[in-house]
Amino acid sequence: MTISELQREASHAHIHPPPQGFVSRYVISFDHKVIAVQYFITSGLFFVLAGLLAEMIRAQLMQPHNTLLSAQTFSEAYSVHGSAMVWLVIIPVLTGGFGNLAMPLMIGARDVAFPWLNMFSFWLFPPAGILVFLSFLYGAPQAGWTEYPPVSLHTPGTALWCAGIFLIGVSSTITGINFMVTIIKMRAPGMTWTRMPLFVWATLVTAFLSAIATANLSAALAALFIEKIFHVPFYDPANGGSPVLWQHVFWFYSHPAVYIMILPAFGIVSEVLPTFVRRPIFGYRAIAYSSVAIGLVSFMVWAHHMFTSGLAQWVQLPFMILTMAVGIPTGIKIFSWVATLWRGRIRLSTPLLFVIGFLSCFTFGGITGVMLASVPADIHEHATYFVIAHLHYVLFGGSIFGIFAGLYYWWPKMTGRLLDERLGKIHFWVMFLAFNATFLPMHWLGLLGMQRRVAFYDNQFEGTNLLPMVAHTNVFVSISAFVLGLSMLIFAYNALRSATRGQVAGPNPWGARTLEWMTSSPPPYYNFAEIPLVLHGPYDYGKPLPYANISQDLATEPVD
Amino acid sequence: MATHAISIGDAEYQEVRSHRLLGFLFFLISDTIIFSSFIFSYLYDRSASAVWPPLGIERPGLYLAAVNSIVLFGSGVTMHLAMEAWRHANRSRFAGFMIATIVLGVGFLSGQAYEYTHLHDTWWGSVFGASFFTLTGLHGFHVFIGVIFLITVLLQTRRGVYDQSRYFGLTAATLYWHFVDVIWVALFFLFYVY
């Protein structure tokens, strides 16, 4: 298309005046950028609470037969820790947070397709979190974040937990539908599918998974809730129900949810890498289409969580093979990112450090994932700390490192000020070392047979011969976990400090080329004075910017 | 929404309409997933049981359900005729068929309420009953929401919210009503026949 044709297409997009008054601006806001900040703040609070629960768990595990927590409190702590980290921190931050903050700007839109629904979707989130934590007052769930019946049916707080997760599920579905329509219908003129930034690709697949898989979770939660309140048999074997049925419907959602928690982080990595390496991303199409492949395969692997639940062998085999096959599209991504780094002009600023942390930890977690996909290995390792180590390498080493990469990267766009680089690097190194010190030894503990989800353990796991320099492995792990928790304070200080003393960022502090940097920081209410026109893909470093209709002072070639 | 739809130009209306239509279709897909999840649970229980329905449980009466199904499918026909009348700008015929659809919808719900009150209490204690009540209850809830939806758009047409070229609310109500009809086909087959 010629520029004049694109211009005609862009002509009917109005600028609406920004709302006046505190409430309509910051509380019941329809503005995707404000809603993103609301998600970050709310999730941040839940992150602190869920993190404190993790520290309680590690404090208990410093000694084999510690009396700090009762067995019941310990079970409540890890159950709510897991639930909160998955549904109240990682999923909302990556979809509601980064999706709202960056996606509409990256496609050159004024807002999402349904701003009212976006507001509504956010306001389902705080009550959901409060319900989950309120369950402590009634006797919180004790069956882990997966809440397997029949155990989950015997804790009074399960009903509150169900209600809370149901609300967050509805919120997730609405956001997914909203984002899909936004990306399909509202891209700036000229932004064809293969000119979309890779974070937008990741958000599109995530939105699809949120809309489809989460609806299934809502149904499962409703059934568990009905069974808990009215004693109708769905899952309780005492009444003729089937606990394995819950595992099927739960994991049919929760395995795709694993990719809801990682695909946006993949997207963040794909944005940060080319910016700080100053060269086009390697294998744009491979990265984009492998996200789609991962999204589709994610619906066909759920039963690999159930190898110890007595499935027939002919069921186990295809799930084992398909699960291992997920390694292929993921491997394509990892190799593309490493190839992007290869011979690039690397600037080791904080966002890129977190991306490199992501690449190393996530790859490690991916490999242990393939180990666990193997049925015989899984039967041995399923109930041990090996699984805890694996999932934290993927969800902390992957998702949380990706989240921090995104926070350091988009902080100036969100607030107009840069975070301090020196503090950021200290934060990275403390977090990276403490993370590995916490979770790496758990692989050994797990392979030796230390059981997960138990408040006490046998004396033999106090120290392991496999780590000769550490006599007391569990004490070492706990202290590392405390340091890991404290490293978040460095970020909190950095964030607060940037409000007053942070360097003013300007529209494009990193010299990036995607559209969110082609407007001021923070962007005006209407994002772009004129809807930009897109002439080429976003990652051609060294060439002129591929946009028209951008205000001239922004449209200069980014500085190196 | 209503005043907004009138105040904007044709090109922008078409754009907004296409967003809402796509969003609504995605909503219907995710709603289908919710029903599918419960249907999967039912089929899972069915395949795990040697006799079906489980011992001591009898299938609900086919006769009442068949009459009720005819009522619901009839409402689908009147809904279609109402939309045809709207497209031909025949407002009184449109209103007549809309009212017929609403009456048939309420008739279906009454039939379902009658069926529920005449089922045996032990049903609540069986996996068949659990799936039956949850699925038909969820479907009945959808019919209830659909009736409210139809009444709302009918009142909106009285207030002049829609005109001959801009009537997305009406389209959405029609889609929703036909969707609820189609779901019933699956439920009828599962609980009364299969």
Find chain A residues with C-beta within 8 A of B40's C-beta.
248-249
Least reliable range by pLDDT among A131-140, A170-179, A478-487: A131-140
Is the CATH code 1.20.120.80 the one for domain B3-193? yes
Average pLDDT over residues A480-491: 97
Find chain A residues with C-beta within 8 A of B12's C-beta.
12, 14
Shortest Cα distance from B28 to chain A (angstroms)?
10
Per-residue pLDDT reduced to its tens digit, A2-44: 666 666 666 555 677 788 888 888 899 999 999 999 999 999 9
Average pLDDT over residues A42-63: 97
Report the distance separating Cα A94 and Cα A86, nearest Å. 11
ipTM of predicted assembly, 2 dp: 0.92
B138 has pLDDT over 80: yes
Residue A383: DSSP 8-state: T
Task: Read off the tokens for A320.
Answer: 């084992």
Domains located in chain A, CATH noted:
35-548 (1.20.210.10)
pLDDT at B3: 42
Shortest Cα distance from A228 to chain B (angstroms)?
12
A228 has pLDDT over 80: yes
Report the distance separating Cα A425 and Cα A357, nearest Å. 12
| Contact state of B130 with A233 under an 8 Å Cβ cutoff | yes
8 A C-beta contact, residue A512 and residue A554: no
| Contact state of B133 with A232 under an 8 Å Cβ cutoff | yes
Report the distance separating Cα A553 and Cα B134, nearest Å. 60
For A417, the 3-state DSSP assignment is strand
Per-residue pLDDT reduced to its tens digit, A395-436: 999 999 999 999 999 999 999 999 999 999 999 999 999 999
HSE toward the beta carbon, residue A256, CA cutoff 13 A: 26
Confidence label for B1 from pLDDT (cuts 50, 70 and 90):
very low
Per-residue pLDDT reduced to its tens digit, B72-92: 999 999 999 999 999 999 999
Shortest Cα distance from A211 to chain B (angstroms)?
6
Asked if B40 has any chain A CB less than 8 Å from its own CB, the reply is yes
A492 has pLDDT over 50: yes
Please tell me whether the peptide bond between B54 and the residue prior to it is cis, using omega within 30 degrees of 0: no
pLDDT at A19: 84
Percentage of residues in chain B having pLDDT higher than 70:
96
Per-residue pLDDT reduced to its tens digit, A495-513: 999 999 999 998 999 999 9
Shortest Cα distance from A525 to chain B (angstroms)?
20
Cβ neighbors of A465 (< 8 A, separation 6 or more) are none
Rounded to 10°, the helix A198-230/A263-277 angle is 160
Per-residue pLDDT reduced to its tens digit, A85-122: 999 999 999 999 999 999 999 999 999 999 999 999 99
pLDDT at B53: 84
Cβ neighbors of B134 (< 8 A, separation 6 or more) are A222, A223, A226, A232, B38
pLDDT at B2: 40
Higher pLDDT, A364 or B163: A364
8 A C-beta contact, residue B57 and residue A265: no
Mutate to test the interface with B, among A166, A177, A210 (most CBs of B within 10 A): A177
Domain ranges of chain B: 3-193
**Cα dihedral: A500, A501, A506, A511 (round 10):** -140
A557 has pLDDT over 70: no
Per-residue pLDDT reduced to its tens digit, A138-178: 889 999 999 999 999 999 999 999 999 999 999 999 999 99
pLDDT at A222: 95
Task: Read off the tokens for A171.
Answer: 């919120």
Confidence label for A560 from pLDDT (cuts 50, 70 and 90):
very low
